[in-house]
Structure 1
Amino acid sequence: MNGYLKQLDQHSDKVSIEESGYSHEGRQQLTAVISSPDNLANIDTILSARKQVKAGEVVSGPLIIWLAYSIHGDEASGAHAALATAYYLAASQDQWIEDALNQAIILITPSQNPDGMDRFANWVNSNRGYSLVTDPQSREHQQDWPSGRGNHFFADLNRDWLFARHPESQGRVALFHRWQPHYVGDFHEMGTNSSYFFQPGVPERNHPLTPKRNHQLTQELAKFHQQALDNQGQSYFSEQLFDDFFYGKGSTYPDINGAVGILFEQASARGHAQASTEGGISLVQAINNQFTTSLSSVKGALALKKQLIDYQHEFFNQQKKQKQPAAPKGLLVSANQDPARLEQLVQLLRQHQVNSFVLNKSVKASGRIWQPQDSIFIPLNQAQQSLIQALFDNRKQFEDTSFYDISSWDLRLAFNLTVSDETEVSQSKLRAYSTLHFFDARQAEIPATALAVIIDWRQTTAPAMLSELLQQDILVKFAASPFTLNNGKTAQQFVAGSLQIPLRQAKKNRQSIVQTLTSLARQHRVALYSATSSASVQGIDLGSPDFKTIQPVRPLLISGEGTVASEVGEIWRYVDHQLQIPISLSNSQRLRQLSLAPYTHIIFAGGDYNHLNEVVARKLGQFVTKGGVIIAQKGALSWLNKRHLLQTDVRTPRYFEKLVSGVGLTYAEKKRIEGQKQIGGAILKLALDEGHPLSFGTGEQHLSVLKDEAIGLSHANIEPFVTAASYADDILESGYLTSEYQRELSGTPAFIWETKGKGAIIGFTDNLLFRSFWLATEKVYANALFFSGMATPTYNRRHD
């Protein structure tokens, strides 16, 4: 595909190429920029003008149309249609094309997920014969795990626009803001037994922050797609199934950024041709339909050019940045003594062109003091005001309680932030953000008088630094309870879980340890505290047996049949990419013959493990009894309980669905009840046992999780000290969760730690690493990895 775009660029003066970074596997992401030669020659001036859009200025120049395809790698028709569209626009001499290229710049991105598409293309082409096979059960149409839908880490990139955790998304968001398009076409595929869909979606499920004018323009644009597909004899539908609520998707992110995004869904052949209830579908037919609506997108956008330009101007003009008052209103945000998490927030805001400032003086507001080293201010009177509202949206009331995706994503809960109400802060107390603001290199210095170095475990990047220290064979201990040290000037409090690195060690000399600590602290931006005495002011001394030695982690992550690929990918990315721990992946089918001796932890993502038999269960039981640790979440808990590995009783989705009764309702109301039975990504509050190792370093009595599946644990007959966190009584923090589920979940366990022999089984009812942006509970996962060895005597024998 990239080669083809480069050929077009080489042979046509209507085409240029723009790069938007690389995928995880190093594939270059290219976009064709297609317009008249005059427009392309004037591209720098045009881009300079586009920078003024968010300022609410009237910007003249061409219409910007972005057609983006195949963000799911196994939705191949889009990428093929993109190349056909690019060629057609570059080569056609039709008058309407000439007029279009004079009036518009058309961006064409064939593949927004090159790693997944490569996986899918290899699968399909390797499993086809000389004769096309349309049998849906044929291997060509039944991808092995993982499918090509996700990227390298199996992430759904069409859910990553808002939090941009992957390089593909970061490049894509940067491209959007560089061009600030008026119209975005988002081309997908859906199930084989379907026809063709284009927006508008379900009207009752539009996000309230999206202007009504956006929906009106979507309706007007739909007329062009209707006519184009009618001319092709292709059936289609709108205003059903899909919605415009979650702003993290390619068709909705534009809606909160001054553009009009349109979703297209084509029935998928998932290969070259496949039988279906609609009479069958071929890749050729699918390409033709996507090509057809690509051209209708250009025609429709051009026909509504003035309306689209006026809409974008009105969108930003309403939020036009006025002269800053002496005390602008905005949000004060603190990450509660975690500078790395605050920096991640600032970087995310920057990606979305949201301005924020650091404090140069403390501010009193909302009943607390906001300190300069731990707070930022986000003014509301700026161009991206609507996006700020969307990021911190925490509504609980909805017109329609069915959701195509999650019902909430409140950034304050996802990142575990403290956020003020609208607050006035004088400009004299604000200054521009500097990457050096939250970390001073002096925090990594270690004086010659130091006996040990202490690392506060509340820091987001402390686990990654710990991992590297263990890999370099440096002795590290963690505190099983809080303590306070005095360095001769002030008393410093440390939470349970804080790390101690003795500078006198048998395996390493002091100078080597100091150099390593200093280097890693600067790399990970971790503050070091130098202890000059083993005596504490309060709590345990540094030589206490309550400082436990941490052993290296050698994890095995179960993948393949039955596992939820996205959850496997999130765990894989966290352990490998963030903690930088080598992690083995093995398909579940191989567990029976696999040697478990090399591993300290076996990790089960959510999924259905009923294909694993009693032999595997006994093997895992022996692994735990001898000192191993199993970490499992969601559906994996059901199998562990069924095989008597987990003693706590599990409540499955079927159990919860029976709580929602349809008695007395008409057949027409059936869909509403079905919607209530599903959990559309609600945010729930957990009450923590602060002294439990799973809670170490969170610094909180409560944390928030995003629940997207009806799974729970019974609190009846549960053993003492097993529960580390329970769902709070006031359980719902944001989003929608039916009242029946709220009542049933309140007070029940959410994190458990069962000891079994010399080992442990740690269970989570929710995905703590949801889509890699749920920073609030990442530390809990790190605790499960690093601190679970405290209950495993075999680790102590190895250390001795």
Structure 2
Amino acid sequence: MLRALLYFFAASYLFVTLPSAFAATTQNLSSVSNLTSSSGLTSPEAFLGYPLGKWHLRHDQINYYLKQLANESERLSIEHSGESFEQRQQLTAVITSKSNQAHLDEILTQRKEAKSGKKQNGPLIIWLAYSIHGDEASGAHTALALSYLLASSNDSWVKQLLDEAVVLITPTQNPDGFDRFSNWTNNYRGQVDVSDPRHKEHKQNWPTGRTNHYFADLNRDWLFLRHPESRGRVALFHKWQPHYVGDFHEMNSDSSYFFQPGVPERTHPLTPEKNQQLTEKLAQFHRQALDKEGQEYFSRQVFDDYFYGKGSTYPDINGSIGVLFEQSSPKGQVQATDNSELTLNDAINNHLATSISSLKGALALKEPLLDYQSQFYQGRDKAKLKGRQAGYLIGANENRARVKDLEDLLKQHQITFYYLTKPVTQKNREFAVNGSLFIPLHQAQKSLLLAMFDNRKEFNDPTFYDVSSWNLEDAYDLDMARGVKLDIDVLSTEPPALDKLTLKPEAVALLINWQQDSAALLLEQLLEKNIHVKFAAKPFSVRVNGKEQHYPAGSLQVPLKQSKSSFEKLKSIITQFQQNHPINITSVNTSASSSGIDLGSPDFHSIKPVKPLIITGYGVDESEAGELWYYLDTKLGIPTTLVDATRVSQIPLSEYTHVLLPGGHYSSMNEVFARKLGQFASKGGVVIAQKGALSWLNKNHLLKADLKESRFFKLLFDSSDLSFGDKDTLSARQSIGGAILELKLDTSHPLSFGMPDSKLPILKNKALGFEDSSTPFSQVAKYAQRPLLSGYLAKEYQRSLSESPAILVEPRGKGAVVLLADNLMFRNIWLGSEKIYANALYFIPALN
């Protein structure tokens, strides 16, 4: 058990009994028991009223303790980096000497020059971040012990550290998930600890504490920044530009302890070799610390340094050294494992050991770390140029909102970009002033820029701990010209002005191009206000002020033949919407088109309000359910009902327009509900199902198409001449960690409305597909003949998927079943394909 950190014996002195982790990593490996402090700081035990680790902490306890230390210690101040979705404060302890605390503003001014490549003379910046997965709780507990030690200790190594460094400690990077887990495990802890892994203390409910409010894995969001916790975290990173980042996690309970370096062959090629050399030098300190603890460990296996969207790799592409730590998880107080009984205090001790070894190792390597960061940002290729510049030219046809999202992302990553002052033609493509960006390659953040748009397809090792590609060109479905050179006089740092609608009484209708991402949100707001809106099933053109304007299928029409009060209400909605969202809206004074259908055509269909239901709970993929909920809730503003699979049979489905089934196995849903779901569709409802949910639909005879599942694809791989040693290599080839594939769309199908062309990039991470469908007109999309755009996908998969169906819509009575072989909402960064869901919501009930 973790012994009490401190006991109060006198008003002016604290005598400390510390766990052996402290002794294992102190200067000269000497003991720091009997540590004295004249500051009279409150220990974690004194604050909590019980020894640290006796109960799982809540996030509010952690924050209050940090604030307590900040009030008592001249070494510690608080950095606030925003709130979680549930409005929990994200706090970081800034710990350094009293003198450095008095000059933090000057230090932060110095840190603004970190990307200049100049020689650095300021303090070392060390950031230790814990519990980004809320159910990996030992890290947050460790953070409190470490914060107290650094704030109170007069040991020589601590004083040297705080004189020469600023230490940032973030105990919980996922406050909402952390509290979800803490409450669960504390609720099921009895007076006698139960080590049985089957006990409810160790088996969380759905959703688990690993994820945040929207069930997102925040350790996959460092690049994409879809969530406020991530945005605050990355802002903190660039504010301080740390030299070293320790990223503390937990892993399988039967494991030992891991720290980087990871698998050498699986390090991203954009990561400098010097980065891995310094990581190895730091590892020597961790080995020494854990050897003193008698704790087994491993490196250079299992985990890699490839995907830059994680806490241990994002620093690597931003001039820092990021190191991943993985402790076997007790998931409660004590759990029986293959090795022995594992306690929460064991996990805290181990993380405490490597936290201190991180501090001592970074301090010992201070000059190499300072020099490494300077060298990372040196060179002509990372200096801002004048005159003609080379870079990426990016555009999204008729979709200013898509580009605005990318702008916001680039700003948060401190990537420089420009707007166009006049249209540019490059490589037979037109890039308009409104809706285009130019991103120069010559800038401090060049490495990160290259990583975000990396589209490589060749790899030395086909094994990936996460996705093998995340190219934002495909995720955003952008027009992109690489290697473009533009003169500075066609570039501006100021965005072009957006047209604002002037709504006049003589107008007969408003027209909204559905290709705009903002159009779906506006549509939902209009429907909620009972404004009549129609969509075009066929394309058309109108002349406005002497200019021809083309509107593709799916474009919206708001008829203006209504009362004066309705007209004023509409005008108010539009005016307010355009203040917050980039969107082009055109008013016309005639129903006559210049080509295509007229505005009074029967090919304009009224759109009815939607009321969706997402099936959640045990058996459902947390992240996919959360992505759908996030989209419907935050992007479209639709009131969305979440119902667990175990309860959904009791729900009257007739009260809903759509039922969404994320990926999962759905073993808790039976044939009775399957019949109920089929009746729901037959009576006019729409079922939207993806990935694993298709297997359940198929088993329950709700699909007409035949599935190709993992068993089918495994037969494609020839293993007859392989040795036992080739087993892992074969397994890696059979795995689809995440590759970007191209779909070919039937652009006349309503599910494809609003897509800029017939090509659609998607992220595939599951071995699943369809046989050719025998249902007429049901195929919306198929995989391209050569489907791989970026990342790794075995040739066997590429050949089998080539030109096979990927998206189907099967009519069922008055309704339909929408079938998606892939998750088109992947991590809520796949903006190019998320419109498929909007089309399924608003158009499929009218056209199926």
The normalised TM-score by structure 1 is 0.97
Maintained 8 Å contact 2:514/2:554:
yes
Structure 2's unaligned 5+ residue stretches are: 1-61
Tell me, what secondary structure is at the counterpart of 1:106? strand
Q: How far apart, in 2, do the equivalents of 1:736 and 1:438 lie?
A: 41
Structure 1 residues 251-262: aligned runs within 5 Å: 251-262=312-323
Tell me, what secondary structure is at the counterpart of 2:71? helix
The code of the aligned residue for 1:660 comes to F
Quick check: 1:512 aligned with 2:573?
no
- Match in the other structure for 1:309: 370
- Match in the other structure for 1:798: none
RMSD, matched Cα: 1.2
Q: How far apart, in 2, do the equivalents of 1:701 and 1:219 lie?
A: 48
- Match in the other structure for 2:30: none
Q: How far apart, in 2, do the equivalents of 1:742 and 1:508 lie?
A: 58
Query: Per-residue CA shift, 1:352-385, capped at 9, x if unaligned?
Result: 0100000112223222332221211111110000
C-alpha distance 452-193 of structure 1, shift in aligned 2 (>3 A): same
Maintained 8 Å contact 1:606/1:634:
yes
Maintained 8 Å contact 2:120/2:371:
no
C-alpha distance 508-701 of structure 1, shift in aligned 2 (>3 A): farther
Q: How far apart, in 2, do the equivalents of 1:320 and 1:2 lie?
A: 43
Match of 2:826 among 766, 770, 786: 770
Q: How far apart, in 1, do the equivalents of 2:698 and 2:753 lie?
A: 27
Match of 2:682 among 602, 611, 625: 625
The code of the aligned residue for 2:375 comes to E
Match of 2:741 among 657, 673, 684: 684
Q: How far apart, in 2, do the equivalents of 1:545 and 1:190 lie?
A: 59
Q: CA deviation at 1:679?
A: 0.2
Maintained 8 Å contact 1:465/1:521:
no
The code of the aligned residue for 1:539 comes to G
Q: How far apart, in 2, do the equivalents of 1:46 and 1:453 lie?
A: 55
Match of 2:326 among 265, 273, 278: 265
Quick check: 1:527 aligned with 2:584?
yes
Quick check: 1:755 aligned with 2:816?
no
Maintained 8 Å contact 2:382/2:445:
no
Query: Per-residue CA shift, 1:121-141, capped at 9, x if unaligned?
Result: 000000110100000000110
Match of 1:439 among 498, 502, 509: 498
Structure 1 residues 174-253: aligned runs within 5 Å: 174-253=235-314
Q: CA deviation at 1:259?
A: 0.2
Maintained 8 Å contact 2:382/2:446:
no
Quick check: 1:335 aligned with 2:396?
yes
- Match in the other structure for 2:836: 780
Structure 1's unaligned 5+ residue stretches are: 793-800
Tell me, what secondary structure is at the counterpart of 1:49? helix
Q: CA deviation at 1:514?
A: 2.5
Q: How far apart, in 1, do the equivalents of 2:241 and 2:454 lie?
A: 23
- Match in the other structure for 1:744: 800
Match of 1:582 among 623, 630, 639: 639
Q: CA deviation at 1:319?
A: 5.3
C-alpha distance 49-538 of structure 1, shift in aligned 2 (>3 A): same
Quick check: 1:729 aligned with 2:774?
no
The code of the aligned residue for 1:567 comes to E
Tell me, what secondary structure is at the counterpart of 2:846? helix
The code of the aligned residue for 1:722 comes to S
Maintained 8 Å contact 1:77/1:283:
yes
- Match in the other structure for 2:347: 286
Match of 1:71 among 114, 123, 132: 132
Maintained 8 Å contact 2:381/2:441:
no
Quick check: 1:168 aligned with 2:229?
yes
Tell me, what secondary structure is at the counterpart of 2:438? strand
Maintained 8 Å contact 1:482/1:496:
yes
- Match in the other structure for 1:486: 543
The code of the aligned residue for 2:378 comes to N
Q: How far apart, in 1, do the equivalents of 2:233 and 2:64 lie?
A: 20
Tell me, what secondary structure is at the counterpart of 1:331? strand
Q: How far apart, in 2, do the equivalents of 1:744 and 1:653 lie?
A: 12
Q: CA deviation at 1:506?
A: 6.9
Tell me, what secondary structure is at the counterpart of 2:527? helix
The normalised TM-score by structure 2 is 0.92
Maintained 8 Å contact 1:55/1:320:
no
* Larger deviation, residues 660-669 vs 23-32: 660-669
- Match in the other structure for 1:560: 617
The code of the aligned residue for 2:800 comes to E
Query: Per-residue CA shift, 1:323-345, capped at 9, x if unaligned?
Result: 62320111111112210111111
Maintained 8 Å contact 1:356/1:433:
no
Maintained 8 Å contact 2:247/2:312:
yes
Quick check: 1:719 aligned with 2:780?
no
Structure 1 residues 34-433: aligned runs within 5 Å: 34-318=95-379, 321-322=382-383, 324-433=385-494
Maintained 8 Å contact 1:503/1:514:
no
Q: How far apart, in 2, do the equivalents of 1:726 and 1:229 lie?
A: 52
The code of the aligned residue for 1:756 comes to R
Q: How far apart, in 2, do the equivalents of 1:438 and 1:610 lie?
A: 53
Residues paired across the two proteins, number: 787
Query: Per-residue CA shift, 1:690-726, capped at 9, x if unaligned?
Result: 10001100121100000011111111x5212100000
Query: Per-residue CA shift, 1:435-488, capped at 9, x if unaligned?
Result: xx2623x2x222232100001000011101101110111110000010011124
C-alpha distance 310-3 of structure 1, shift in aligned 2 (>3 A): same
Q: How far apart, in 1, do the equivalents of 2:217 and 2:809 lie?
A: 30
Q: How far apart, in 2, do the equivalents of 1:658 and 1:6 lie?
A: 59
Percentage of pairs with the same residue: 53
The code of the aligned residue for 1:780 comes to I
Maintained 8 Å contact 1:391/1:409:
yes
Q: How far apart, in 2, do the equivalents of 1:427 and 1:149 lie?
A: 47
Tell me, what secondary structure is at the counterpart of 1:200? coil
